Amino acid sequence: MMRLRATSAIVAVTLALAAASRVMAADHGISVQQLTKLEADYILACQFLKSQDPADGAINNIYGAPTWVVPRENALAILGLIEASKLLQNPEYRERAELAADYLIRVQDPTDGAWVDQYAYASPVLLSKSPTQTAEVMMAFYRLGFKVSRYAAMKHGAQFLLACQDPANKGGNDDGLLGGGKDAQGQFATWRWASDNAFAYQALKAAQAWATAQGDSAFADQCDRAASRIIQGINEVLYVADRNDPDYGVWRRVVDHLGQPVDPAFHELINYAPQMLDLPARGVGSSLVGDWIHRTLQQSDGACVWDDGAFRTRKSPGFSFQASLAWLDLGQTAFADAAKDWAEHSGLWQTTLDPNGVQGGWSDWREDGQQADWWLRFIDTSFYAIAVFNGGYDFRTAGPSVDRGAQVGMQASVGAVASMTVTPTNISDGSPAGTINFGAVTPGATPWVAAPQYLRIQHQSNHLSWAVRILTDNRAIFPTMAGLVLNDRGTPSDPTDDQLGYGGMIGTTPTDPKDRVSLAWQVYKDPLSGGPVAPTDAQVGGVFNSPWAFLADASDCLSACTTANPVTIDKTLEFLRVAQGDSTSGFLLLHPDEGNRIADGDIAVYLAARFGAAPTDSYHTTIIVELYHF
């Protein structure tokens, strides 16, 4: 989603762009929309509603009274409800997610900012505090969108994570990793878990984005530094880099305070948490991870088991879905499809009314002819099912971000000013959206579909020549992706003279140049009421005043891409820019060539994708927005 690209003279922001699978339907004869509704409605059935009660909004782990309320499961349920609200265009799901968030704020521990491991109604019952409880709640708050009224809770939660990272509390090495939270007596734990740190990274990036939006720049910097230290620790301490190690390519599940692996022969999903959670860490994106999951935890029928120890034969829909999220990111769809197929046909999916008159959810496990009780259907499994059957989930954090390192350096030397905030914004009501998401799409009269969100770009620069540009850098995410032939400059059978394109949103098979959709943009001084109409092919082009402009990629090749030194895009070229100017004024590029083209430092960029003829798949990319001077 949105993250900082640290460069000496560039203020940069990136954000993830996603489109859910359009027709990925379950074999039970229901569509993705129906599956999403079934699982979201189960989450709602587990929610406690009683106005004026402190537990109002709490979502129990399973259907019943709120005596088993786990903050991190509530957080994942919130993510599922947000996805359902967008896909089904039903605001009730989001409203109920907001109620759950309000409940979580009420039960946050005011002494340290953490959430305990379990509540009954609004009372703590398990007093230990895993970092994942706090981190996942923070991630849910972020996805609901920035609210001033919730900033204190977000900041206090981040302060708990920072305390877990402090060597004075966790003991041992100053390795950048968080310790394992607090025990029931309030003592800090010393072991460093891969899952705790993966969730904490995304949570601290969320806190950084909110601190920036709040104007709390000092705390934004603190969160940014802490998140970077986590990545350093994951890369240097947890990642298994020894090619002779059977776990080469994944991560140690847990190490002690001196960095020594704890029970390294035992494996579970924690070993691949950095991949599932989309961290910018060493090893993420490598097929080695997916192969390891398949080899270690997936059975011959496609099911994934709890672990390779005592529960090596206990098959689980939830663990199968979590592994599928990693496989979908890696393009290893055969593994993911097998896991989904097993879950659908496992007999654990409650597609009919149970004795309580409730449907939806997945019984927790099956093993040696036995299975979990029908009522043991956890709300987090419903989120993971929604995510997987909609083509995956991008956990990366998107949000306003400013390259202060470059800004401070320029101010110190030449008094320069360079700042930028990028906010994905819902066209429907102008509220922050967190990301650009097309949802489940079906092209209409035109093969192009306009995004339901736009990019609000607030920027400031007093350089003599500055510009704001947008592009993708797909090969940085998919190093093995194939280029789409844009122009054969010579012999058709000779690939060394081809001009290749790498832009657009990428499907689950990056090596297939046809498994992607093109992107285009328009820019306006002020937001358009209702947004622009989706373009036709004739309205999208590369000329200086076409109504829409193609969104280019950093690896697009202007000469033969298979030669030793292909001429790739010069990123200062004008056709990448949406706005440019000098120290006193600015203007918008002519896409479209009409209306007010004066850039006032607060502009609206609209996006469209060409889904016509695209194969059924889930598509995503990362858009880079950069403010630079030249």
The two structure tokens encoding residue 539 = 């309205």
Predicted local distance difference test score (pLDDT) of residue 9: 33
Structural domain includes residue 30: no
CB 625 within 8 A of CB 457: yes
CB 455 within 8 A of CB 605: yes
Domain, as residue range, for 508:
425-457+478-576+589-616
Q: What is the residue whose two structure tokens read 């306006």?
A: 524
503: closest CA among 387, 433, 607, 398? 607
Structural domain includes residue 172: no
Predicted local distance difference test score (pLDDT) of residue 23: 32
Conformation bin of residue 108: beta by default, left when phi > 0, alpha when psi is -120 to 50: beta
Predicted local distance difference test score (pLDDT) of residue 619: 84
Structural domain includes residue 488: yes
Predicted local distance difference test score (pLDDT) of residue 276: 97
Structural domain includes residue 178: no
Number of folded domains that form the chain? 1
Strands 548-550 and 540-541: parallel
Rounded to 5°, the CA angle 430-431-437 comes to 95
Predicted local distance difference test score (pLDDT) of residue 440: 82
Q: Which H or E run includes 475?
A: helix 474-477
The two structure tokens encoding residue 131 = 């970092």
Predicted local distance difference test score (pLDDT) of residue 344: 95
How many C-beta atoms surround the C-beta of residue 62 within 10 A?
18
Question: 356 Cβ partners below 8 Å, 6+ apart?
Answer: 63, 375
Predicted local distance difference test score (pLDDT) of residue 390: 93
Structural domain includes residue 473: no
SS3 49: coil
Q: Helix 333-344 to helix 287-297 angle, to the nearest 10 degrees? A: 40
Question: 553 Cβ partners below 8 Å, 6+ apart?
Answer: 471, 472, 473, 474, 475, 501, 502, 503, 504, 569
Give 226-246 as a DSSP string.
HHHHHHHHIIIIIB---TTST
Predicted local distance difference test score (pLDDT) of residue 90: 93
SS3 208: helix
Could you tell me where the beta strands, DSSP code E, fall in 234-356? 254-255, 304-305, 315-316
Residue spans of the chain under pLDDT 50: 1-11, 18-26, 399-415, 488-490, 497, 564
Predicted local distance difference test score (pLDDT) of residue 15: 53
